[in-house]
Structure 1
Amino acid sequence: MSFNAAILGVGGVGQVCASEVVKKGYLNKLVLADISTLAAEKIVEKLREKTSASIEVCQVNACNKDSVASILKDIDVLIHAGIPEFNYTVMQACIDTKTHYIDMASDSPDDLLKQLDWGDRFKKAGVLGIMGLGCDPGFSNIAARYAADQLDTVKSITILDGDNSEVDYEGFCAFFSPQTAIQECLAKPNYWTAKDGLQYYPTPFANKDEFEFPEPIGWLDCYVVEHEEAATLGKTIGKGCEYVEFRYALHPDFVNTLKVLSYLGLDSKEPIKVGGVDVIPRDVVVTTMPKPAELAGKIHGYSCVGAYVKGTKGSQNEELFVYTLANHDEIYKKVGFQATVWQTGVPPVVAVDMIAEGLLNETGCIPPEMIDPAPFFERLKARGMEMFVMRKTSPIIKTA
């Protein structure tokens, strides 16, 4: 079997995707593409030691459809590991070249729904588009689907993302894309209800509450934050689901820094004049921050992402927490990456595995929870990323 893949965006997550996809014998060709090829050129020789597949490094501008399409003529699937604002351009290039498409995030929950509306275009091209398949969104959606499949009814779904790590870095940093971290944490937080659909709180950092994560993490303060899962899970899961939210455990220093950035207008994507030069404030902030890949080996602690699903099974109320847990130091020692980018980069490669094996052969656009959890988690475990389940039960008390 000849199977060719491309990765667009070779930052920390893209490097994880590349290091994982070369492990399988089905791969015939891999293209690594970015506006800057420095990172790809640094890792390409190590990758070639792990595979007999040919590997090419190409300079590509993700905001130019023709530039993206130029590398896709014989590619079966493209993983878009770049920033979400280029999703539509990359999607159109994949449609034009009849290439399967996977990304790891959308620019907003509303943008995710707009991407999914491209389903007919993907079907007409005979290809599959998977929107938001990283860790969260991505693993988190499939974890919610797995939990819901165990239940007769679903009352609520809360996606939880927590990390108890310390970082060997004096300054403001984010474990994943700094642009995305600033944007989603300062956006109006969204949630979903069966009655009113997708809703938004008026201000960021809404509804702080404590949640207990598996040991050794423990209790963390979690905020409702803008995220993609709530845009789709309620409708796709069904089973009477009434409420969906995403909660992110944020350190007080991180929250305070973001509030200051927002107060000063330094989170803006709109250009301003500085000394006669157009400058985008958020880009200035991001430039001062370390790239997530540069934090490998400097983060010490545990990262946990999962779906906390409440519902019923027979005569019992049930609460299921389906999650993945990773230690930053152990992941760095094992694969050379920090845990957050590793957890984000492995799931899309599992989808590539399933496409190559013929287990994902539909066309159109889907959110991650439409993927069958059983074969997905089986292949995820084979790549070293475990799924765990915590369960609580209590009798249903019927009132007169």
Structure 2
Amino acid sequence: MRNQGRTFIPEDFMRVMLLGVGAIGTVIARHLAGHRAIEGVTLCDMDTTRAEKLAGELPAGRTRVEKVDAADPQALARALEGHGLVINAVLPRFNGAICDAALAAGSHYMDLASGEDDLFSRDAAWKKAGRIALNGMGEDPGISNVFARSATDRLDEVDAVRVRDGEYSESEEFPLACLFSTETFIEEAVSPARYYEDGDWKKIPAWSNQEVYPFPEPVGPQTIYNMSHEEVDTLPRRLGKKVRFVDFKLAVPDSMQQHLAFLDRIGMTRRDTVRVRGGQVTPLAVLSAVLPQPADLGGRIQGAAIVLVEVDGTRGGRRMRHVLHAAMTHQEAFRRQKVTATAYLTGTGGAAGAIAIASGRLKLTGVLSPEQLDPEPMLGLLEELGISVERKEKAI
């Protein structure tokens, strides 16, 4: 069922600073550069080669390019001048610094995933400033949170929220390829997982609770495992209704799971520094450097990506299950924007969040999680930006 809900009609126009012009940043930029709510987009990166090429492909006069180091507070402050919103599409470890720089500049802020820095501890400062910091607005987290909120709004009581990510790839060229930030993916995969149940967050070993999940086409059955993820932390706190159980599972093909488990055993996923020939390196950073970069996978892999959320609860005394999903093949994403489906879904979720902020229609302030937004206009935006959302509900 396609979404027929409201969308955001702009009340204002905003210049946006996009920090990070990889595959996901490219998708965000393409969506925003021609949107009626966006005055213009500044493409910022340490290496401006990709940004310069992208700017040449976008509508004339709507973009400019700046070289910016996210680790340099002074450079961030200078680049932020004149921008109403900064989109952080670099590694999550920079979230805190970029968020603080945005607040100091009087700009809104948005990122695609959580890092170690707790942005929600800054909520009071952002509320006082009357600005929005939207944390984790990509595919999952992001679209997944909006799906969860949309489903729970149609239930009287909520029992369980299960987030399922079924992305996969096939390639003879790449025996091991990560579809999003290589460091982030590997770190999530080999770390202990968490889920929420009966008021408590519970930790379990990596690769726990393996099952084959019957994703709808074009994905089909995939082996999935529990992993720690933002939805497990935020949905119990911010969904708006009490929920008994929340978990997240990600599809990892058997061969990839075996590769990652071996690399973890030999220490190649370590995040501390080790001495090599008189220098200091981080094993995970070295591993990430030698693996193919997600931005280079477009057109070179087959497969698909899907984000799916199941929500069980009651309505009018009846047990109900709501399932929302959005899916795309890598081939279709490459046809549209020369990227993978993972990058397309993540970047489109990010663009929807940016447009919601830039439109001036969001009346909330402070540090927000995507499930706190009105879901129906967000679903309308996703449809407008080319993501077909399917919804099913049934009695159970």
Q: TM-score, normalization: structure 2?
A: 0.94
Aligned AA for 2:199? K
1:78 to 42, 63, 86: 86
What is the alpha-carbon distance in structure 1 between the residues aligned to residue 30 and residue 199 of structure 2?
44
Structure 1 position 388 matched with structure 2 position 390: yes
SS in 1 for 2:192: coil
Identity fraction in percent = 30
1:145 to 128, 146, 149: 149
What is the alpha-carbon distance in structure 2 between the residues aligned to residue 168 and residue 75 of structure 1?
44
CA apart distance, 1:168: 4.5
SS in 2 for 1:221: strand
Q: Which residue of 1 aligns with 2:134?
A: 130
Q: Which residue of 2 aligns with 1:359?
A: 361
Q: Deviations over 1:188-238 (max 9, x none)?
A: 101112332x2211x211111222111232222210011110101122225
Q: Deviations over 1:27-52 (max 9, x none)?
A: 323111112212112211001xx254
What is the alpha-carbon distance in structure 1 between the residues aligned to residue 158 and residue 114 of structure 2?
26
2:73 to 43, 65, 74: 65
What is the alpha-carbon distance in structure 1 between the residues aligned to residue 267 and residue 313 of structure 2?
42
Mapped contact 1:103–1:132 kept (Cα < 8 A):
yes
Aligned AA for 1:132? G
Structure 1 position 88 matched with structure 2 position 96: yes
Q: Which moved more, 1:83-92 or 1:230-239?
A: 230-239
Question: Quick one: higher RCO (CA 8 Å, sep 6+), 1 or 2?
Answer: 2
What is the alpha-carbon distance in structure 2 between the residues aligned to residue 199 and residue 97 of structure 1?
39
Moved over 6 A (4+): none
The 5-angstrom pairing of residues 26-41 of structure 1 reads: 26-41=37-52
Aligned AA for 1:80? N
SS in 2 for 1:117: helix
Structure 1 position 9 matched with structure 2 position 13: no
What is the alpha-carbon distance in structure 2 between the residues aligned to residue 9 and residue 189 of structure 1?
28
SS in 2 for 1:74: coil
Mapped contact 1:132–1:368 kept (Cα < 8 A):
yes
1:160 to 159, 164, 168: 164
SS in 2 for 1:165: strand
Structure 1: tracts of 5 or more residues without a match: 395-400
Q: Which residue of 1 aligns with 2:105?
A: 97
Mapped contact 1:355–1:361 kept (Cα < 8 A):
no
SS in 1 for 2:217: coil
Mapped contact 1:161–1:304 kept (Cα < 8 A):
yes
What is the alpha-carbon distance in structure 2 between the residues aligned to residue 240 and residue 95 of structure 1?
31
CA apart distance, 1:315: 3.3
Structure 2: tracts of 5 or more residues without a match: 1-11
Structure 1 position 56 matched with structure 2 position 56: no
Q: TM-score, normalization: structure 1?
A: 0.93
Q: Which residue of 1 aligns with 2:184?
A: 180
Q: Deviations over 1:261-293 (max 9, x none)?
A: 111111112111111111111111111111111
What is the alpha-carbon distance in structure 2 between the residues aligned to residue 255 and residue 150 of structure 1?
37
Q: Which residue of 1 aligns with 2:379?
A: 377
